Every structure is written in C-alpha cells, then in structure tokens.
Structure 1
Amino acid sequence: MKQIKNFVDNIHNEAYKDHYMSPILEAGSYVLSGGRKEVSLNGNWNFSVDMYDNCLRAKWFLEEKTNSEGRRVPLDYGFDDWEEIPVPAVWNLVKPEYFYYEGPAVYSRRFFLKENPGGRVFLQFGAVSYEARIFLNGVFLGLHKGGSTPFGVEVTKELKEENRLIVIADNTRRQDQIPSENTDWFLYGGIYRSVSLLFVPDIYIKDMNVHLNDRENKEIKVSVSLGGCERFLEGEAVFSIPELQLETVISIGTEGEGQAVFKADGLSLWNPEDPKLYEVFVKLRIRGQVLDEVRDRIGFRTVETKGRKILLNGKPVFLRGACLHEETEEHGKAVTKEDIRQAFKKAKEMNCNFLRLAHYPHTEWASQLADEEGILLWEEIPVYWWIDFANPHTLKDAKNQLMELIKRDFNRASVVIWSVGNENPDTDERYHFMRELAETAKAYDPSRLVSAACLVDVVNLKISDRLEGHLDVIGFNEYYGWYDPDYEKLNVILEGSNPDKPVVISEFGADGYLPDGKAGSNVRGSEEEQKEIYEKQVAIFRKTDYIQGTSPWILFDYRTPKRLGAYQKGYNIKGLVTADRKREKPAFSVMKDFYEEVIKDEQADGSPV
C-alpha cells in the first residue's frame, strides 16, 4: 500500500479502536478478595466527557509532551486540571449537563505506592458502565465489556512508586451489546462501584466455591482453584469452619485445582427465618508452609424443584416477592449499603421473603446483605427484549457476564435463581442463544435454579415458550388490566396452561400516580386504578396452584427515558412505593395482605414461612 505523505493518525485513522480491542478482561480476571490486603482507590478522580473519543484517537494516555524532534507540543487535555468527581458514582448526577450524556468519558487518578510487599498486585473494579478500557502509566491493560459485573487485571509489572491510572468509560448503546440499544431503564454512566488494588502472593487462591452438596447427610462441597502457576506439583488447601470445629484437607492437582466433599456435623441450615452464616477459611499450604489465606461468610442451604413446587431445604416455599431496580434518586445506580438495607426493610414490611433483582447484576453488597437479612434473590443478566441473537460475539458477551455473576455470587446462600433473560421473542435464534446460557449456568452451578422471564403466547393464550424445557422455574411476565385491559385472557391463560414445573409471576402491575384533585379508579393510571388491578390480579393468583411466587413490577418508581407522559415525567411509575421511597401507594397494602394470607396458609399446612 502506498504511503500517504500527509496522513495524520489522530484525525484520519477511523480504525483507531482496533489497537484497544484486546486483551479482553473476562470472567477469569477477577480474584477472590476476602481477607486479603486491599488498598482502596475510591475518592475523587479527575474527569472529563470525551464525546469524540480523543483520548484513544490522539493517545492522550501516553502523556507525550514533546515530538520526535524533542520539541514541546500543545496539549488538548489536562488530566490534573480537570474537574474532580467521586468514585464510585454515576456521572449523570454530578452536573445537570451530564444527566443524559452517553458516550466516552475519561477518568484519571494519580496514586502512590511506596512499598510493594512482594507477590502480585491486581487492579479490581466492581463495575464500570459499559465498556471500560484501562491504562496504567501509559500501558493499555485491557478492555472489559458489561456494565454490571466485576473484573480485574494484574498490574504487578506496570506499578511504580508514582502512578497514573486512566479509565475510559463508554456507556454508548450498541446493537451487539448486552443490553442492546433499547431498554426501559436509565443507562447511567461511570465508575459506579469500588476500585481497589489487591495484594496476593506469587501463587495464590484465585477462587473458592462452597455449597451444601447433600442436605440429608450435611455434606459440603468445596472447590479451590489457584492462580500464578502453570503447573502445580505439590500442595494442599486446608478448609475450615472454626464454629463447627471442622477442618479438612483438599489435595491440589497438577492443574492448580482441587475439590472435596465432607460431612459437617452440627451444621445449621440457612433460611429466611434464620439466616445462619458461618465464617469459613481456606489456607494454601505448600511443603508445610502457608502461602495464602482467604475467608468468607457463607450460609448453607439447598434449593430444588419437585413437580410444581419450589423446595428450600427440602420444604415447599412460596416466593413472596417484588422486582427491584438498582437505583435511588440521590445516587442513581451507585447505591450504598444503606440504600440496599432501606429497600430490604421496605420489602419485609410488605411481607416479602424474595426479590427479583432486575434486569442486570446488582452490586455484590445486595447478595451479601441478603445473606444477612434472609432474603431470597433472583439474579439476572441483561439479555433484555431484542438483542443480536444471531451474533456469536453477542453470545460470548452474554455468557461472560453470566459467568462473572455466577463466580462473584456462587457462595451467597440468598441467591436461589439465575435468570438468563427477560421478555425476548421466541425466535429460533433467541431459542438457541438462551438455551446455551441456561446450559452454561447449570453446568457451572448445578446447586441453583435457572429461569427466564418469558412473555405469554398471545396467539394461543397459553404459558408456552420453547425455552421452558431448559428452565427449572418458568418466569411469566403479564400486564392484564393494564397494557391489555381484558382480565378474562389471564383466566384463560392460567386455566388452559398445564406446566410441569413451578411458575413465578415475574412481572405484573400498572402505573400509579396521584392525580391533582381527582380520585377513583376511572382515572387511567391513578393509584386507585393500580390498586384495583392488583386486587383482581391477586384474586386470580389465589386460584392457580402451580404459581409458586409473585414479584410485582416494581417496588419503587425509577427513572427511564422511555416514560415521558404527563404524569410519568421520565419515571416508570409502576412502583408500589414512590421514587423517594417515602410513600407507599395503596397497592402496597394489597400485596402486603396477600402475602400475609400466604404466610397463614403455610403455617396452617405446617410448612415453613
């Protein structure tokens, strides 16, 4: 190819991103952090939106202040002079002009590391929306895709005493991404979960999966995998639960992995009424020397289905739930632990024992606090509405997000259902796409149930989806009384369907606003009409024995650019509680009373609440 003599790379090269498409930071990049030395990089970072992507185009991350002739050149950036914004946070709520911004933005932060204690150092992110390109001291470390799952990258060789960390966060919506271009929630941008440096030995415990393998015999299964070694010839992992005076040795094979199954006498099972957690430890021992140790707080329980029942610890359980988005008016998607506790408290006031975390992985704090509070969780990935089901790169992205979620929350007793999608059309491409996701979840984690929130067959008026054969629980989204006012269709669907497995009504509901000076169910979208719709829905649910859970849409009103009606004003107002979380709508009491009846029925049957 003939050389172009006046070619200027940073203005003429439209293939500029090709250099920053790999390495991809995937599910194997994250390292278990429990009990290890960790240095937080949270705090104020320098920030600028970069709508033309000039940090990549012009290689600002190199901080080249002179040209090849040694002469000073003008700079179009000033990392240390930019405004400061907090991390973790969403940029949308920092300044009004950033509220609707979608696209690339540049985060920069200096940090000092006077002493490296030896071993390896990993840079770990809780989540960055959506694509994140990471640079340390001018070196491109990798690209992560997926705005709601954790990732990490080793930085041992790149670290200096004084360091410059740059993150290009890009929340641009794209057809081939997960989620795709069209969603019914607000797509916040930024580094909105924690960032830290994690210090580990040269050979370290990378992952530890623990679960109750056999309820009757109180058998626990533990799997351990190591990092930092291509081949591992001699060593063992020592697993212990001090409260039970239990200790067992796990042999590590030549590939750096090992597992064991053993009895845990005296083990108390985790359940919503008694969410018992145990401190567990794993030590890596080589030739008698302890090289590494990790810890976690874990509850032990089983979840399975039998016919049309969901069994928790072998006993039927009805999932008394609600759907929940990861959002508050003050913090957006960067929710705090107090925000989560507040949501859990409100759910419990409604007699919930279950929450569907929609429509993407929520922060790891959610499952950790649910473990403590005794709340069962449905967690899902954002295979939402229509995506590029025929694209193998999109499937790879979805599988990676699923694996990152499963790896992160494998040890959480509260998580009982993995969901592989929501409201997708039953096409051939979608069927093969989501079947592979369901099979992936089952292969890696057979200890939990797999579901998806499916749409009704509106032609035949039946619960019918080809994906059902690959699910343990059928999720059923329906809005009769609202989008379709004809309740009789719901009766026809429920009476005419004959599923061989449990069904959870994963969404139902209606808008609910308080009209100025008006009242009554004749006002379309009013809180009174919302209440009436809930009353009719609940009456139908009571007659259907295969319904084993309900999660109305949604616990709190939340932001979405799709809802621009006179009373919506940029919010989905189907919440049972207002967006400020202060006022319960009348439909809240309908669900509270319904769940109280379920509790009384379970108590009368002698089943656990």
Structure 2
Amino acid sequence: MNNLFILLGLTLGPVFPLLTVAQPTMTNVAGRNSISLNGDWQTIVDWYDRGEQRRIYLDEPPKNKNAFNEYSFADETLTVPGDWNSQRATLEYYEGIIWYKKELHLDTKPGERLFIHFGAANYRTKVYLNGQLLGVHEGGFTPFQFEVTDHANKGLNKLIVKVDNRRISDGIPALNFDWWNYGGITRDVSLIATPASYIADYFIQLKKGSQDTIAGWLQLNDNEGSENIALSLPDANIRHTFRTDADGYVSFAFHAGVERWSPSNPKLYQVEITSDHDQIREKIGFRNIDVKGDELLLNGEPVFLKGISIHEEIPQRKSRVSSEADVMQLLLQARELGCNFIRTAHYPQHEYLIRKAEEMGFMVWEEIPIWQGVDFTSPEITGKAQAMLRDMITRDKNRCGVIIWSLSNETRPAPDRNRVLRELASFSRTMDPTRLIASAFDQFKYSGNKIIIDDPLSEDLDLLAANKYMGWYTPWPAGPGNIRWETTYKKPLIISEFGAEAVYGNHGTADTASSWTEEYQAKVMEDNIRMFRSNLQLRGVCPWVLADFRSPTRMHSTYQNGWNRKGLLSEYGEKKKAWYIIRDYFSTHSRL
C-alpha cells in the first residue's frame, strides 16, 4: 500500500473516547490492503506490574532537565511475531508483563479507514495509540483488531502494547494446562486500510446437504446501507449479482457445478467479491461433511479420519509457531505419517496452518481451549468461551478443510458444564450450520470388557470423541482385541487421543510403562490398533501427539524434565518406533 509508511519517530495525538474491548475481526485479513508491522519492537519487561502506574503507555519525554523516567524503551527489542520465552534466556520461564512499542508514520487518503489487526497475543492485551487506550483483548489464540481512523496522527504515531501471560483461575484455559505458556505477540500484526464502506464479513460454502448449491451471506461494515454486490468464480464461469439491504446485509444461494474438495483432490476456487466501494479475493473450496447414523460422510462417501494431534510448537527451538515455514514443518511431518486429518490441540492455531492444511488436503478439527479445570460456575466463562468460539469461526468459516468445531477437551460432566457447552453447541450451529460439532471426552464407565460412553453432552454433538490412554494411564481390563466401546448414541466415534510416553533412543523392555522405552510405546500403539479393529462404530483415530512438546507439569527428572514424551517424533524430529506403527496402520486403511 503506497500511502502508508513505517518510519521511526515520536509524536502525541489527540485524546479520544475509551474503547473497552476489541472489535469483531474482518474476514480474510490476508486479502486486504495492508502492510505488515512485524519485525523488531522495542520492549520493557514489567516484572512487578508497575508500568501503568508509571504511565509507560504515554512514553513521554521528561518535562524538564531535572525530571527523568524510571523506564526506557531504548535498549531491548523482541521480534514480532514470536514468543518472548524463546528469544531471551532470562525469559524462558517468565510469566508476567512485557510492554511493546512500535512507531508508525501514517499518510492516509481522504475517506480511508485504518485498523490495527493482531493475529494473536497471549493472554491479556491492552493496546494504546499515542498514549490513549484503544481497548483490551483476552485470549491467547484468536485474532483481534481496533480501528484507529479517528485517532491516528497524520505523521508519526506511537503504538504501545501491554501483553500479560499470567495464568488466572477464570481464564480459558485456566491455571493449569499441559502445554507451555508462551507469552508475547505471537502472530502477525498488520495495519489495514479500507474504503469508508468495506466488505466486513462473508460466508461462502456449499449448502448443508447439497452438492451443487453455494449458499452464504455478506455483511458490509457499520450497516452502511444498500449496495450492489458481484460475486464471481472465474474458473467455474460463475457470476452473480445481489443487493444488500439497508443494514448492508445480503444472503444468497445459487446453483454451481463446482468440483468438490477432498484430501485426494484439494480443489480451491478463486472467489472475487466486489461491492460499490470495495473488492476482495480469496481461494475457497467446497465440500460436504455429514453424519448418517454412525457413518461419517465426506462428499456423500464414507471416510475414515487418519489423524494426528498437533501442538503449535517448534520443539527444536522451544518456541511457538510464527511463520509459514514453521507450519510447513509440521504439515509435512503429518503428510509423511500418512494422515488425512489433523486435530489442532487444544486451541485455534495459526491461520497459516489452517490455510496450508486445506491446500494440502488435510481435514481439520479446530477447538477452543476449554481444557479440564475451567470453572463453569463462573458467570464470565460463558461469555469468554463464546467470544473465542465466535472469533475462531469468524476467521476460518470459509476454510472447507475445517470439518469439525470442538467445544472442549476432557471436561467432567456436571450441570454447569453441561449447560455451558450446550449453549456453545447451539451458538456454533447458529454461526455455521454446515460443520460438525464435537467435544473430546475422557470420563467413561466400565463393565467387564466394555468402555461405556454415556456423557449427556453427547446428545448435543454430531460425533463422539474419546481420549483414552489404554495401556498407559488405564490398564487393559481384557485383551485389546476383546475391548468393546458401547454407547446408546448411534453416532460416529473418533478416538481423539491415545498413546504412551517414550524417550527417543531409550530401548529395552516392552513389558512395563515405567521403562519409558520406545518398545513399550510401540506395543501400546499395536494394542490400541487391535482394539480399533474390533469396534465397528469407529470412524477415525488421532494419536497423541506428533512430536514431544514442552509442559511444566511433566516433572520426571530422568525421562520428562519439562517435556511431554508422547510424541511419535522426538523434540529433534527423530522417529520413534511408534511412528512406524501408526504409519503402517494408516497405509493399510482403505477409506481415503
């Protein structure tokens, strides 16, 4: 964008009204007129949360020669996007506050609107421009933005961001979780320019149950009024025109003989949308995902999900994913394993991963970080969870590779839990009626050789998902081939987690879990596969996990030392024996 430039400088701007929360984010930020604010940002580590008292967000020069500030942005920087834990040795274990500063030079056109968009920052964020608070955001894995049109100076501006990754009891996730609490501005930051009236959001997918009707809707910003809309798919010789209502909204449906997306043929179409004042493009695919009884159907055909769970971490450098290269490392490892499905655990992952997975033909499960100890009795939890779910669906609803929205992982049935998750299931279907809704269970009953799923939330879900570590946390009650899964719910079943821990290169007996050997981990995988083959309701499996990942809760000094060792790969990408067991199982499975 030629009219926006990033320069060094310092200036203060006008006072403007306080905005308390981040605004709903735009769809398809990558397709907007924008410039990147990535790079080195000046920083201050605020160990004891004194920055607001000292008004760091003003970053004012001393008022006279005898005055001074007890802070300075001058000496230290961190790279954005990126977590702070991996960038400085002194911050490896840091949970606290860091202030970030970026100076901008803005030269805007008349009628142009400006937004600052964050892909994610963990966990609570305050954003200031020229000393004034734009707003706040809570959540470590979803995007947020603020409009700065009326608040930016023509010329130099200071953008200052406070990021706080301290764990809180009423957070999502809560105080304890089984992954590293990376802090910082962990995803891209962009300055976006739009016309006064712009295309804010849209949804374009195959209508539920139809293979040749594209349906959806479009919303202009701020209810700007009635405009003409043209929607075209040039490669399919499709073009339709519509007109929005007085609130800037239009819904549509039209016949389209498009080629449907699948793992073996991940076809995407260039989609162009033009309003009276704006234009946007992106590649969108079209497919059907349905359940019929206990069958899982992709484009009307039975499919078996050959999956792997992935954490958003590059273990070799002990850091969060922050680039397309990082994403490709994980996805190429999943492809080599023979997967057609990825479970992004346990939070919405980088948009790069979702888009690249779709391009490569992976079906995707996305979930929000409601994990185990979330306090469902807190009146704030429902609102926070709904906001995270809304932002996840808003960002990725046009990604046909995403087939499942998941509400939670390993939560215990209880009245408040059931109520909150049922509300989220209903909310998900209101936002997006085309995808499947799931939650991963880990609470089961046992009777002889039977594992019984009777979680009442099952009634509200499209499929059943079970995390079960047979042979690791749970002993086998009978021979693996004799284990039966039983439920009154005739729905597809996915074993969404299973596995065991092993240290790469640690060889020996396969007889006991306490050996932490590759041989024992491989035996657990083989035993689970025997269990899978005797369960007719099974429609997918998802081993835990692609690679060893960092977790402060893993405290065995000999074998873990801060790492969860359930990876099929070591933290250096080395293949454990279990990797080959899963690869061979996937290679011989007949469905896709």
Q: Report if TM-score (shorter chain) is over 0.5.
A: yes
Shift of 1:496: 3.7
- Superposed CA deviations along residues 200-242 of structure 1, whole A, max 9, x for unmatched, are 0001100111101166551101311011x4451x312111101
CA contact 2:27–2:394 (8 Å) conserved in 1 = no
334-343 or 126-135: bigger deviation: 334-343
Correspondence for 1:510: 500
CA contact 1:87–1:191 (8 Å) conserved in 2 = yes
1:25 to 22, 27, 41: 22
2:430 to 435, 443, 446: 443
**Does residue 1:131 correspond to 2:124, yes or no?**
yes
CA contact 2:223–2:249 (8 Å) conserved in 1 = no
**Does residue 1:577 correspond to 2:573, yes or no?**
no
**Does residue 1:476 correspond to 2:466, yes or no?**
yes
**Does residue 1:536 correspond to 2:521, yes or no?**
no
**Does residue 1:318 correspond to 2:310, yes or no?**
no
Correspondence for 2:484: 494
Unaligned runs of 5+ in 1: 1-19, 286-290, 603-608
- Equivalent-residue separation in structure 1 for 2:61 and 2:333 (angstroms): 55
Mark the CA change 1:58 to 1:294 in structure 2 (over 3 Å): closer, same or farther: same
Letter in 1 for 2:562: G
Correspondence for 1:5: none
Letter in 2 for 1:134: V
Mark the CA change 1:237 to 1:342 in structure 2 (over 3 Å): closer, same or farther: same
Correspondence for 1:245: 237
CA contact 2:217–2:250 (8 Å) conserved in 1 = yes
**Does residue 1:120 correspond to 2:117, yes or no?**
no
Correspondence for 2:147: 154
- Superposed CA deviations along residues 426-446 of structure 1, whole A, max 9, x for unmatched, are 111111111111111111101
Correspondence for 1:53: 49
Matches within 5 A, 1:155-554: 155-160=148-153, 161-213=155-207, 216=210, 218-227=212-221, 229-232=222-225, 234-265=226-257, 267-285=258-276, 291-329=277-315, 330=317, 332-458=319-445, 461-488=451-478, 494-514=484-504, 518-522=508-512, 524-554=515-545
- Equivalent-residue separation in structure 2 for 1:209 and 1:382 (angstroms): 24
Mark the CA change 1:569 to 1:453 in structure 2 (over 3 Å): closer, same or farther: same
Mark the CA change 1:176 to 1:214 in structure 2 (over 3 Å): closer, same or farther: closer
Shift of 1:495: 4.3
- Superposed CA deviations along residues 496-550 of structure 1, whole A, max 9, x for unmatched, are 4343101100001000114657454446221100001110110010111111000
Shift of 1:493: 6.5
Letter in 1 for 2:520: E
Letter in 2 for 1:572: N
Letter in 1 for 2:242: I
Correspondence for 2:586: 595
134-143 or 251-260: bigger deviation: 251-260
- Superposed CA deviations along residues 421-472 of structure 1, whole A, max 9, x for unmatched, are 0000111111111111111111110100000001132466411211101100
CA contact 1:88–1:334 (8 Å) conserved in 2 = no
Letter in 1 for 2:390: M
State how many pairs are aligned: 570
- What SS class does the counterpart of residue 427 from structure 2 fall into? helix
Letter in 1 for 2:119: G
- Equivalent-residue separation in structure 2 for 1:276 and 1:215 (angstroms): 19
- What SS class does the counterpart of residue 322 from structure 2 fall into? coil
CA contact 2:174–2:373 (8 Å) conserved in 1 = yes
- Equivalent-residue separation in structure 2 for 1:516 and 1:555 (angstroms): 18
Coordinate RMSD, CA, aligned: 2.1
CA contact 2:504–2:570 (8 Å) conserved in 1 = no
Correspondence for 1:10: none
Letter in 1 for 2:466: F
- Equivalent-residue separation in structure 2 for 1:352 and 1:516 (angstroms): 26
Correspondence for 2:9: none
CA contact 2:481–2:534 (8 Å) conserved in 1 = no
Matches within 5 A, 1:557-576: 557-565=548-556, 566-576=558-568
Identity %: 35
Letter in 2 for 1:469: E
2:39 to 35, 40, 43: 43
- What SS class does the counterpart of residue 429 from structure 1 fall into? helix
Correspondence for 1:62: 58
Letter in 2 for 1:245: N
Shift of 1:72: 5.4
Correspondence for 1:288: none
Letter in 2 for 1:275: P
Letter in 2 for 1:103: G
CA contact 2:208–2:434 (8 Å) conserved in 1 = no
The normalised TM-score by structure 2 is 0.92
- Equivalent-residue separation in structure 2 for 1:179 and 1:432 (angstroms): 18
Letter in 1 for 2:459: G
- Equivalent-residue separation in structure 1 for 2:263 and 2:324 (angstroms): 19
Letter in 1 for 2:289: V
CA contact 1:89–1:331 (8 Å) conserved in 2 = no
Shift of 1:250: 1.9
CA contact 1:185–1:560 (8 Å) conserved in 2 = yes
Shift of 1:147: 0.4
CA contact 1:35–1:293 (8 Å) conserved in 2 = no
Mark the CA change 1:431 to 1:470 in structure 2 (over 3 Å): closer, same or farther: same
Unaligned runs of 5+ in 2: 1-16
The normalised TM-score by structure 1 is 0.90
- Equivalent-residue separation in structure 2 for 1:120 and 1:520 (angstroms): 63
Correspondence for 1:606: none
Shift of 1:66: 5.4
Letter in 2 for 1:243: D
Letter in 1 for 2:553: K
Correspondence for 2:10: none
- Superposed CA deviations along residues 251-271 of structure 1, whole A, max 9, x for unmatched, are 201111111100113x10000
Shift of 1:155: 0.5
Correspondence for 2:70: 76
- Superposed CA deviations along residues 269-306 of structure 1, whole A, max 9, x for unmatched, are 00000000000011012xxxxx1001110000010100
Mark the CA change 1:217 to 1:254 in structure 2 (over 3 Å): closer, same or farther: same
Letter in 1 for 2:425: A
CA contact 1:217–1:263 (8 Å) conserved in 2 = no
- Equivalent-residue separation in structure 2 for 1:237 and 1:221 (angstroms): 15
Mark the CA change 1:490 to 1:141 in structure 2 (over 3 Å): closer, same or farther: farther
CA contact 2:123–2:165 (8 Å) conserved in 1 = yes
- Equivalent-residue separation in structure 2 for 1:272 and 1:34 (angstroms): 24
